[in-house]
């Protein structure tokens, strides 16, 4: 497995700050930008270059932290292409990937789907995390069904269930990427089904499909 590395992605708390309050699932890449020296010139140039990439929906540039948060459609583009849209148009900048997460705010709570490893992994191993942060009320009959690509093996392999959730909880699965996997990204689908009960006691059935991103580098 020595040819494959899994990029560090994680941190629920900072992802929620970066995210907009949207009901539909959205995928975000946080980039660290080098080469910005003038706020008035560099912020709009970085934002415009990143926004020009196909599949990008929104870009937020943080001048103080020298980062950019890019919301995009993982079925139309990937983090490598987004970074390329900046560095090829504006050669004075460089960008490195910090994290990628898929986020959905259901009203009852927020789901964050991310891939994580404590450091670069030469063995191509890591962890998928699907975290739920409740805002009030509860969900019950929770089932998570994982659908990985052919070159990625999950443990547990298919699904997890939980009778009820009233507090923050994280579903997780270890993964291993085959040595001949093709990059730059692999997509893992997660199907969530459960019954939600809001603070007033009203119940509704929910079905949410999320796409998680495993970023590879050689």
pLDDT 10s per residue in the chain (218 long)?
333 333 333 322 233 334 444 456 788 888 999 999 999 999 999 999 999 988 999 999 999 999 999 999 888 888 888 999 998 888 899 998 888 888 888 888 888 888 654 333 556 788 888 898 888 778 999 999 989 888 888 888 778 899 988 889 999 888 888 888 877 778 888 898 999 887 788 888 988 888 888 877 54
| Separation CA 184–CA 217 (nearest Å) | 6
- Show me where the domains of the chain are located: 17-101, 103-217
| Separation CA 63–CA 129 (nearest Å) | 29
**CATH: 2.60.40.1290, 3.90.950.10, 1.10.3720.10, 3.30.50.10. Which one for 103-217?**
2.60.40.1290
Q: Which helix (H) or strand (E) holds 51?
A: helix 39-51
The CATH fold of domain 17-101: Alpha-Beta Plaits (3.30.70)
Q: Is the pTM of this model over 0.85?
A: no
How far is Cα of residue 112 from the mean position of the Cα atoms in its chain? 7
Token pair, residue 134, equals 């409740």
């Amino acid at each position: 497995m020595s040819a494959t590395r899994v990029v560090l992605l994680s941190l629920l708390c900072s992802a929620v700050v970066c995210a907009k309050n949207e009901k539909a699932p959205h995928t975000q890449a946080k980039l660290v930008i080098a080469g910005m020296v003038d706020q008035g010139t560099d912020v709009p140039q970085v934002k415009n270059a990143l926004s020009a990439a196909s599949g990008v929906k929104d870009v937020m540039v943080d001048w103080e932290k020298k980062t950019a948060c890019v919301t995009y459609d993982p079925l139309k583009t990937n983090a490598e292409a987004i970074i390329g849209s900046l560095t090829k148009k504006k050669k004075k900048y460089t960008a490195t990937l910090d994290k990628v997460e898929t986020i959905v705010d259901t009203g009852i709570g927020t789901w964050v789907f991310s891939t994580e490893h404590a450091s670069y992994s030469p063995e191509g191993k890591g962890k998928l995390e699907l975290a739920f942060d409740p805002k009030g009320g509860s969900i019950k009959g929770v089932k998570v069904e994982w659908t990985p690509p052919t070159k990625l093996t999950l443990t547990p392999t298919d699904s997890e269930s939980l009778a009820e959730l009233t507090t923050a909880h994280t579903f997780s699965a270890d993964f291993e990427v085959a040595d001949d996997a093709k990059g730059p990204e692999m997509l893992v689908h997660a199907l969530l089904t459960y019954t939600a009960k809001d603070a007033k006691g009203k119940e509704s059935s929910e079905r949410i499909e999320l796409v998680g991103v495993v970023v590879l580098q050689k």
